Amino acid sequence: MSTQPPEGDSEEKTDVERRNADVCNVVGAVEEVGSKWKLVILNDLRDGEKRFNELKRSTGASSYTLSRVLNDLEEEGFIDNRKELESPVASYYTLTEKGGDLCPVFDALDEWGADWLE
């Protein structure tokens, strides 16, 4: 909710951005999920539900970064967060439909990487 420190959202669209949006929405998509950590985390959640420290280990993100990006992703509707407040608190993250619909993007990236990264 209160993500004040590193928040720099600008809702205003420039003419250029609007014009590009008319042509295609690649730019819009890039603006929303075009950051490294968002992509890495979302891609990681394709396997299914994961917990905070699990994501921390598998992505290599710091607690701070992971926490912030997860909050952003949740606010933007890419992931859901289920919390269990019992003894050792547990927090589980899953992809929403919006997030899951990015799978074709990851598949395409994966395929491209298979051809050009080895």
Residues that bind DNA (CB under 7 A): 2, 5-8, 35-37, 51-54, 60-65, 67-71, 81, 83, 88-91
Closer CB to its own copies, residue 40 or residue 92? 40
Residues forming a β-bridge with 91: 83
Closer CB to its own copies, residue 57 or residue 82? 57
Residue 16 near its own copies by CB under 8 A: yes
Give the SS3 label for residue 58.
Answer: helix
- Residue 55's Cβ-side half-sphere holds a number of Cα atoms within 13 Å equal to 32
Rounded CA-CA distance 48/94 in Å is 6
Shortest spacing between CB 29 and DNA, in angstroms = 15
